[in-house]
Amino acid sequence: MTLDEAAFIAALERADPRAPLIAATIARGDADVLAAGVRPNPELQLEREQALAPDRAATSYARVAVPVDLAGRRPRRIAVARAEVDALRAEADRAHVVRTIDGLRAFNHAAYAARVLALLQAEREPLVRAVEVVRRRGAAGAGSGYDVQRIELELAAYDDQVASAEVEVAAARSRLGALIGVAAVEAMSDLALPAAPAAIDGLAAGAVEARGDYRAAAARRTAADAWAGLAARGSIPDLGIAVGVMANDGAGGAAIGATLGLALSLPTFDRGQGVAAQARAARAVAAAEQQWLAATVPSQIAIARDAVVRRRAQAERLAGDQLARLEPLLRAAETGYREGEAGIVELLDAYRTARAVRLRDLELRRDARLAELDLWLALGRRP
């Protein structure tokens, strides 16, 4: 399977093994919101009183008891549940960003390995031609046996380097395939340099507040505040109103009447102090996480942005100063060797220099793209 970056990201999102778990967790949070908003059921109470003396009348009662939320606990329970769901969604957003960036790191490593292998395979042909030239010169008596042996050893070492690159490509393709549930994926990318990032002021503005982990901490803090508000009403008693009818079976006939009752809880021991302590602790944790992110994320963004800028400049300098000079260098070395003006050492040095510069170009392009991924991770999003 050959995929470009966009197709790989789409496949990565489809194959996320945590997606069902995240969806189920959020659905459970939505269910908690629904449960928090359900009002308690009224209660039907049936009672019959019968004195032990046989001449005493029996009395029957039928009442409906309705709980009344004097403290306003229900809307606060709903607020707690909704804030917890908001935190779950924000955490899911952060997890999605992290997984996407981890996948893109693997994609860029695989693309780099493939480009290295392609470069080595393409540059093997000039080396093979040079081997033939040296052999012909040796057969004609114009070159030494040392030259032949030396360049053949160079070709053998080069083939070993190609074999190592093939092993790396196979492993990178397998690692990439494992992320989307297939055997292997070939990353199709030219490792183009990333675009120049925006100014640091523009990048950092609102970046902390937009990150999923910061939004999750803010939601947890909101939930703790609602929880504290719920605990503050612990000293308000619960009220129950019971309304019904009664029937008395007296000697003069049945008598029917009405009943009205009130029931109040006595907040003597539990006045919400335990819940209040838990709410304060939860709020302190959420606030500390927000403070930590606010203190560290801006520096992460600045460091990652600086790395992108520097890697881009480094790659552009190499392309402008060195890449364009490689072909004239190789032609001069090959011509000089054929005409007897240069030795085998100069020829091999030219090949090695050209190969090292081209490999370094790929390495810098890879590093620039990885630095951009670090910037996206610090921002918590893709620009």
Residue 131 sits in the same domain as residue 177: yes
End-of-domain residue from the set 247, 270, 293: 270
Q: Quote the domain boundaries for residue 257.
A: 42-68+237-270
Residue 285 sits in the same domain as residue 325: yes
pLDDT level of residue 144 (50, 70, 90 thresholds)? low
Residue 56 sits in the same domain as residue 189: no
Residue 375 sits in the same domain as residue 281: yes
Task: Please report, as a single letter, which amino acid is at residue 133.
Answer: V
State residue 381's pLDDT score: 86
Picking from 167, 172, 162, 166, the residue whose alpha carbon sits closest to that of residue 111 is 172
Residue 246 sits in the same domain as residue 120: no
Residue 258 sits in the same domain as residue 162: no
Picking from 4, 107, 119, the residue whose alpha carbon sits closest to that of residue 360 is 119
Residue 335 sits in the same domain as residue 256: no
Residue 128 sits in the same domain as residue 59: no
| Domain total in the chain | 2
Length of the chain: 383
Share of the chain above pLDDT 70, in %: 96
End-of-domain residue from the set 219, 250, 270: 270
pLDDT level of residue 339 (50, 70, 90 thresholds)? confident
CATH of the domain at 168: 1.20.1600.10
Mean pLDDT of all residues in 104-130: 92
Q: What is the C-alpha separation between 165 and 173, in angstroms, rounded?
A: 12
In tens, the pLDDT along 280-330 reads: 999 999 999 999 999 999 999 999 999 999 999 999 999 988 988 888 888
Residue 228 sits in the same domain as residue 262: no
End-of-domain residue from the set 270, 291, 324: 270
Residue 142 has pLDDT above 70, yes or no: no
Mean pLDDT of all residues in 148-171: 91
Picking from 349, 313, 355, the residue whose alpha carbon sits closest to that of residue 332 is 349
Phi, psi of 236 (to 5 degrees): -85, 125
Residue 28 sits in the same domain as residue 148: yes
The answer to whether residues 171 and 112 touch, using CB atoms and an 8 Å cutoff, is no
Residue 210 sits in the same domain as residue 221: yes
Residue 305 sits in the same domain as residue 256: no
Mean pLDDT of all residues in 158-187: 95
Q: How far apart are the first and last CA of the chain?
A: 28
State residue 250's pLDDT score: 67
Residue 376 has pLDDT above 70, yes or no: yes
The answer to whether residues 366 and 352 touch, using CB atoms and an 8 Å cutoff, is no
